[in-house]
Structure 1
Amino acid sequence: MDDAMFHKARITGQGFSVVKSVYTNMEVDAVLQIIGQADTSKDTFRRSDDLFAIRQFLKELPGVLPVLLNDRLKELISSLFGENYFIVKSIYFDKPPGSNWYVAYHQDLTISVDQRSDIPGFGPWTVKQNQFAVQPPLSVLENNFTIRIHLDDTTEENGALKVIPGSHMKGIYRPETIDWVTEREVSCAVPKEGIMIMKPLLLHSSGRTTNNKKRRVVHIEFSATELPEGLRWSERINL
């Protein structure tokens, strides 16, 4: 595994880093096999010509947990962030060959909680597939991180994330205010079996597929923040 100090510096300064060979080919195949056997009729499953997604992925398919939370990933999280983090959200994305689905530049500004509770500093609120999402205080987002586990080789041609390095340090950064004279865009290619680690406030986007190749990714968000009374993480899983 690549040097942890290098990745820690990259995440702190740039807002992201790519780590190769966190998983084996057998582990990737095992995850895909479990996904292939899933009951896709539930509300948390979304399927269209451009995208197949599973919200609350680890709750819907708990059999993937021992594979995804392998010793290499746990060791990396511990060395980069410490021992106090836990999982708070998970989504599986399958961008099929020929997909025209894309996502414009944005920050990940909401967290998933079990119910709505009007608490100062938390809002606005939204609901998707019976899951409550709320924008928390900035300090919560600054403390969180996301790991994207790549089950296919991902390049700019099949929807690898494009990011604006350092944008995670600028608070709420509205996409329409991006100054392209001073900002630069980076495409984050990630090989199969590797991961991308990123901060939720990092501005990121994803383009359409142009090379007719799949892009399957497991997106997992982590936090070390205990929410105030009246709110609970809807997908909390301790490591």
Structure 2
Amino acid sequence: MGNNAENGMSSKLEKWGYETHRAIFDTGTIEHFRREADRVAQAAGSACVRHLRSRSEVFDELALSGSFLRLLPPGVSPVRSILFDKTPAENWPVPWHQDLTIAVVEERSVSGYGPWSFKDGSPHVQPPLSLLENMATIRLHLDETPAGNGALRVSPGSHRRGKLPSDLLRESFIEESQTCECQAGDVLMMSPLIVHSSRRSTAPNRRRVLHFEYARREDLDPELHWFE
């Protein structure tokens, strides 16, 4: 993430790559977000809904709200938004990985960017490490998420190792992991470079998470444009 004195990251987020903020929203607000999340998921017909801000004025306003921006370093803006909606019927495990891609408007041949892929109709690309180091992710939990219900696991400090080869990202590589259990209304902040995963729920229930990624828009090569 670069130097925290320069980019405004908290010392904990800088050191460990993640931190939890408890009870950012009250019960009534979370219930409002749940109803909106259910509406968006039903309209999209998917348990993983990308481009969330364009589908919901409520979540577009949330991404830019003071409740979120006060947690973030200055100068960043939301650049990607996703709803994850695990249910007993949609109960998938996620292997250890880093979030290495960003969403842009169109694919272009730009030095330092690649490989390219397409997800839900938009080009995605791996940008230079320096861009990812200055990004931050906010995950707002709309449901109780204990270890048995697919809570995110992270490898503390792994974000400081840069982009890691995929063959290293396996269970035996992760010497130490932390399970980030959260209550409804809690926010988990993390670097996209932190190695993270989630197990299949052993006590499956609703596990709705709003995922917002933030970046400095000027960090993107001028030949490219953020999708959001």
* TM-score higher than 0.5: yes
Instruction: Kindly report which structure 2 residues correspond to 1:178-217, keeping only aligned pairs within 5 A, or say none.
Output: 180=172, 183-217=175-209
Structure 2 counterpart of 1:12: 14
| Residue among 57, 63, 71 paired with 2:58 | 63
Give the 3 Å change call, closer, same or farther, for CA 182–152 of structure 1 in structure 2. closer
| Residue among 139, 142, 152 paired with 1:148 | 139
Q: CA deviation at 1:46?
A: 5.1
Q: CA deviation at 1:168?
A: 0.2
Counterpart residue type for residue 174 of structure 1: P
Q: CA deviation at 1:65?
A: 3.0
| Residue among 196, 211, 226 paired with 1:219 | 211
| Residue among 19, 22, 25 paired with 1:23 | 25
CA distance in 1, matches of 2:157, 2:178: 11
CA distance in 2, matches of 1:166, 1:201: 10
Q: CA deviation at 1:30?
A: 1.2
In structure 1, stretches of 5+ residues that fail to align are: 1-6
CA distance in 2, matches of 1:182, 1:141: 21
Structure 2 counterpart of 1:34: 36
Cα deviation, 1:61-107, whole Å, max 9, x if unaligned, reads 12333345443322222xxx12x110000000010036440110000
Give the 3 Å change call, closer, same or farther, for CA 130–154 of structure 1 in structure 2. same
Structure 1 counterpart of 2:118: 127
CA distance in 2, matches of 1:223, 1:159: 27
SS of the equivalent of 1:76 reads coil
Q: CA deviation at 1:183?
A: 2.6
CA distance in 2, matches of 1:116, 1:181: 34
CA distance in 1, matches of 2:174, 2:150: 24
Matched, 1:114 2:116: no
The answer as to whether partners of 1:98 and 1:210 remain within 8 angstroms in 2 is no
The answer as to whether partners of 2:149 and 2:201 remain within 8 angstroms in 1 is yes
Counterpart residue type for residue 223 of structure 2: G
Cα deviation, 1:148-176, whole Å, max 9, x if unaligned, reads 00001111101111111110000112353
Counterpart residue type for residue 58 of structure 1: R
Counterpart residue type for residue 202 of structure 1: I
CA distance in 1, matches of 2:53, 2:200: 26
After the TM superposition, which of the residue ranges 24-33 and 141-150 deviates more from structure 2?
24-33
CA distance in 2, matches of 1:173, 1:220: 23
The answer as to whether partners of 2:37 and 2:83 remain within 8 angstroms in 1 is no
Matched, 1:229 2:222: yes
- With structure 1 as the length reference, what TM-score do the two structures score? 0.84
SS of the equivalent of 2:71 reads helix
Give the 3 Å change call, closer, same or farther, for CA 173–149 of structure 1 in structure 2. same
CA distance in 1, matches of 2:217, 2:196: 23
CA distance in 2, matches of 1:159, 1:39: 19
- With structure 2 as the length reference, what TM-score do the two structures score? 0.88
Q: CA deviation at 1:116?
A: 0.4
The answer as to whether partners of 1:140 and 1:225 remain within 8 angstroms in 2 is no
CA distance in 2, matches of 1:124, 1:182: 25
